[in-house]
Structure 1
């Protein structure tokens, strides 16, 4: 099973830069897109609705900013939108495709990069609720792969300019400790880091120029039973579709054929 995750910061701009031309050549079973920056009903071009995939969208309330999408080759049994956090579902966006024994999610977590204290408090509150949610679902008899922009760099190895970004949201000690709890207490894992521990692997360049001020905030987080099934991972940087780079992960897992 191949899954690709990409934070577009505008699905229209990504398409213009060749993202769909590229992703349709990757033989992905599923690809997830975050931060669409446009409502689904405004997507008129066929490029956004590839023939071999079933696309599902969860738009932002304003129809402009932080919508998410998931494209699946096999028809899922169910689609879930939102996390049930009444105060936060309009800030952090989530859509999930459920298959027989596995769920694939596309997440855009809240950010607070502008330094607003209230936004940081809201972000922290979201992640506390999300940790409780992930604790609850890990006891279900299904596996999870949660793709997306988590807006946190787990360790200093995931930030190119550690000193220059000290105290910036996404690099805060409390945020990195939250990820430690996710991995060590709840037994989830960062799929990419299971197969690649290089120090120069970044997926986001805030200034838009790869090679300068890189961050790794885009992940595919897997539940415990999926850990031994991670085979290969890469951050695709040959072409630039936007400020983020796609994450490609291969799993020793076969999705069931659709019963529909």
Structure 2
């Protein structure tokens, strides 16, 4: 079973930059998209999406944020947001329940230039952590995926020294992700490849960053212990273009 997560930086744009072809080639059982920047009614999906059930959570603000999940198996239930009004206006969380696990697609807020949104970001991180833990109490394992907007350790970005106080690599954001993992979650890519350097999922559009692989690993699949034994691989697909992010994948056996 293949799951794919991809921040498409605007689904309408990416539909013209290889997304349909990617779906036709990879044929994931579940496809989670972030930063869709559109409502469902604004998107004309091509034939490649014909075999999927589609679920969307869009921001109140037009053309901003948003997540979507395309799944071949119809879920038992779908939840939009975390049930916290202050955090649910931007369309950042979508939860699907399946017979064997909960799947959470997330697009974590960016702390922005000069970390001006960091205080809100830290409130968000804690709310999201508690939300995932509450899901786990249902008795089913939890899988979360998406753009977490944090490079956890120095190995996860090309230039850690220069970005020490930048959004996505502040001490506070890194500590928040450490706390999440310490609550019983596993970073699946690092589970399989603990020492692999140069493995990134986002590159700036500026300065030839992607061509020179000056990137960040900020897109993740995380799982609870109860399903870790079923995870066969976790991968990053830097060769797939169409966005400033590339897809990341999880294979379940």
Q: Kindly tell me: are residues 179 and 46 of structure 1, through their superposed partners in 2, closer, same or farther at Cα, counting changes over 3 Å?
A: closer
Cα RMSD (Å) of the superposition? 1.6
Extract unaligned runs of 5+ from structure 1: 253-260
Q: How does 1:140-219 map to 2 (within 5 A)?
A: 140-184=138-182, 186-197=183-194, 198-207=196-205, 209-210=209-210, 211-219=212-220
Cα drift, residue 48 of structure 1: 7.7
Answer with 28-37 or 228-237: which moved more: 228-237
Q: Kindly tell me: are residues 92 and 178 of structure 1, through their superposed partners in 2, closer, same or farther at Cα, counting changes over 3 Å?
A: farther
Quick one: distance in 2 between partners of 1:142 and 1:111? 29
* TM-score, normalization by structure 1: 0.90
Answer with 122-131 or 209-218: which moved more: 209-218
Q: Kindly tell me: are residues 160 and 48 of structure 1, through their superposed partners in 2, closer, same or farther at Cα, counting changes over 3 Å?
A: farther
Cα drift, residue 169 of structure 1: 1.6
Answer with 225-234 or 1-10: which moved more: 225-234
3-state secondary structure, aligned to 2:49:
coil
| Mapped contact 2:9–2:243 kept (Cα < 8 A) | yes
* TM-score, normalization by structure 2: 0.93
Answer with 18-27 or 194-203: which moved more: 18-27
3-state secondary structure, aligned to 1:131:
helix
Task: Show CA shifts across 1:1-48 (max 9, x none).
Answer: 2100000111112111102211222131101000011221111x3328
| Mapped contact 1:92–1:110 kept (Cα < 8 A) | no
Cα drift, residue 212 of structure 1: 4.3
Q: How does 1:59-74 map to 2 (within 5 A)?
A: 59-74=58-73
Task: Show CA shifts across 1:175-214 (max 9, x none).
Answer: 1122222212x11111111112311100001226413430
Quick one: distance in 2 between partners of 1:247 and 1:212? 16
Tell me, yes or no, if structure 1 residue 236 matches structure 2 residue 226. no
Quick one: distance in 2 between partners of 1:97 and 1:231? 21
Cα drift, residue 167 of structure 1: 0.2
Cα drift, residue 156 of structure 1: 0.7
| Mapped contact 1:29–1:72 kept (Cα < 8 A) | yes
Extract unaligned runs of 5+ from structure 2: none
**Which residue does 2:121 correspond to in 1?**
123
| Mapped contact 1:106–1:146 kept (Cα < 8 A) | yes
| Mapped contact 1:92–1:109 kept (Cα < 8 A) | no
Q: How does 1:32-43 map to 2 (within 5 A)?
A: 32-43=32-43
Q: Kindly tell me: are residues 92 and 113 of structure 1, through their superposed partners in 2, closer, same or farther at Cα, counting changes over 3 Å?
A: farther
